[in-house]
Chains A and B, each alone.
Chain A
C-alpha cells in the first residue's frame, strides 16, 4: 500500500512541478511572431537582413551580425539609430525602450531593408 502512495505522491509532485515550470516560461511556448526577449538577433547575409521583420518586447536589445563578405550598415529611416560600417563578423546592437515600428536599411546598399517591431 505504501509503495503505491509514494508513487502517486511522486507523480503528483512531478506534475505540479511541470505545471509550475510551464507557467514560468511563456516565451518557450510562443510562436515566432510573438514578442520575445530571447534571441533578439538579425543576421546580415547575401545583401539581406534575416529575419526581415523581427518582433521584440520593449527593453530588448537587438544585435545585428554581418555574415556577408561585404560591409553593411544598419540605419533607421527615422533617425533613431545608425551603426558605423560593419565588416564581416562585426556586430551592432540597439536597445529598444519604446514600443513602435522601426524600419531601417543599409545606407551603403539601400535596397536592403528591414523592420523591428517593438511591442
Chain B
C-alpha cells in the first residue's frame, strides 16, 4: 500500500443525511473506475475505505466465506435508461467471477424480471448460471409477482419456501433469512411482511443463540428510506424486534437501485445497486423511475455487493463494486 493510499483510508465519513452515507465522499470514490468501497464497523461508526483493484485482494483475506448480493436485474426492461439489461447482468456476473475470493453463493434481492414473464426469468437463470458460485438464492421484487399473485415466481424459486416465498438457511454458522415484502400491498402503503410471515420469523429465530450472526434479505428496504416514494416497509419494526437479541444483524435490500447504508445498534442496513438502471436519490426527482445517465457512465452506477464473513468479527464486511 502506497503512502497516498494510506492517506485516504480510515477517514470516517460523516453521516450528513442520516442514511449512513456521505454522498460527496462516496461519489469521489465512485469516480475511480473499478474501485470498490469497503464498509466495516469501528466503534459503532461505519467507516469506509476506498481501495483499488490491485489491493482488493486484501479485502477478502481471512474471511471464512463470502457471498455476493445482486439485485434488480429487471430482465425485459428496454427503455432509454438501459436498452440491454442482459449485457449489464452479464457484466455483473463477469465481475463476480473476477473477484479475488470466489463467493460461495449469490443472493438476488428481487426484481429479477421486469414483467414476471417466463422468458425473462429464463434469461436471468441462463446468465447467472455462468457465475462461479455453487448456489443462488432469490427473494421476489414487485416486478416478479405481477398478475398471478406470485404463482410463477413460487413455482420457479419457492420450492422449499413457505407462504409467499419466505425461508431461512444456515451457512457456516451464519443464519440467513429471506423475506417477501412485495405481496398484498395496500393502497397508499409501503412494503408489507404480513402477520403470517412475522409469526414465522418469531418462531424461526426464537431458540437461536444470540451470538449467531444473522443476515436478512428482502426486496424493499426494511427501514424507512423515503416513504413518499414507497421506500420502506410498514411492519418491519416488528420483524426487527424479534432480532433485537442478536449481536450482529445485517439487512440486505434492493428496490431503490442505489447504495444506502444505516447502522442502528447491532443492525447494519444496506441496499445494493441495480444491475439494470439507476434511480434518483430521494426527493431529487419527480418520481423514483429509471434515471438516464450518459451512456459511458451507465456501468459506473450499476454494481454488485460482496459480503465477507470473518468468524469472531462483530459485523460482516460489505463491499460494493460498480461494473464500470
Query: Are B289 and A103 in touch, CB under 8 angstroms?
Result: no
B53 at the interface (CB under 8 A from A): no
Q: Is the CB of B143 within 8 A of A46?
A: no
A90 to chain B minimum Cβ distance, whole angstroms, is 11
Q: Which residue of B lies closest to A107 (CB)?
A: B185
Give the interface residue-count category, chain B.
20 to 34
A105 within 8 A of B: yes
> In the complex the two chains form, is A69's CB within 8 Å of B79's CB?
yes
Contacts of B79 in A (CB 8 A): 69, 88
Residue B143 contacts which of A68, A77, A104, A108 (CB distance < 8 angstroms)? Answer: A108
Q: Mark B167-189, 1 if CB is under 8 A from A, else 0.
A: 00000000000000000011111
Q: Out of A46, A77, A108, A110, which one reaches B289, CB within 8 Å?
A: A46
The interface bits of chain A over 20-56 (1 if a CB of B lies within 8 angstroms of the residue's CB, else 0) are: 0000000000000000000000000011100000000
Contact B287 A103 (CB under 8 A): no
Which residues of chain B are within 8 angstroms of A110 by Cβ–Cβ distance?
A: 185-190, 230
Write the B228-246 contact mask toward A (1 if CB under 8 angstroms, else 0): 1110000000000000000
In the complex, given contacts A46-B287, A47-B286, A104-B187, what are 5 additional A-B residue pairs having Cβ atoms less than 8 angstroms apart? A46-B286, A47-B229, A75-B187, A85-B115, A105-B188
- The answer to whether B287 and A108 touch across the interface, beta carbons within 8 angstroms, is no
A71 touches B290 (CB 8 A): no
The answer to the question of A65 belonging to the interface, with a C-beta cut-off of 8 Å to chain B, is: no
Give Cα A35–Cα B265 distance, bound, in whole angstroms.
56
Name the residue of chain B whose CB is nearest to the CB of A108: B142
Once the chains bind, are A105 and B288 in contact (CB under 8 Å)? no
* 21 CB-based A-B contacts, threshold 8 Å: A46-B286, A47-B286, A69-B80, A69-B289, A70-B289, A71-B143, A75-B187, A77-B187, A84-B147, A85-B115, A85-B116, A85-B146, A109-B142, A109-B230, A110-B187, A110-B188, A110-B190, A111-B190, A111-B229, A113-B187, A113-B188
Residues of A within 8 A of B147 (CB): 84-85
Q: Which residues of A contact B (CB under 8 A)?
A: 46-48, 68-71, 73, 75, 77, 84-85, 87-88, 103-105, 107-111, 113
With A46-B286, A47-B289, A48-B287: A111-B146 Cβ-Cβ less than 8 Å? no
User: Max chain A CB contacts within 10 Å: which of B116, B190, B229, B230?
Assistant: B230
**Leading 10 A-B pairs by shortest Cβ distance:** A47-B287, A105-B187, A110-B185, A85-B146, A69-B79, A111-B230, A46-B287, A77-B187, A110-B189, A108-B142
The residue on A at minimum CB distance from B185 is A110
| Cβ-based interface call for B299 (8 A) | no
Nearest B residue to A103 via CB reads: B187
Q: Counting CB contacts under 8 A, is B81 at the interface?
A: yes
- Complex contacts, B190 vs chain A, CB 8 Å: 110-111
- Which residues of chain A have C-beta atoms less than 8 A from B185's C-beta? 107-108, 110
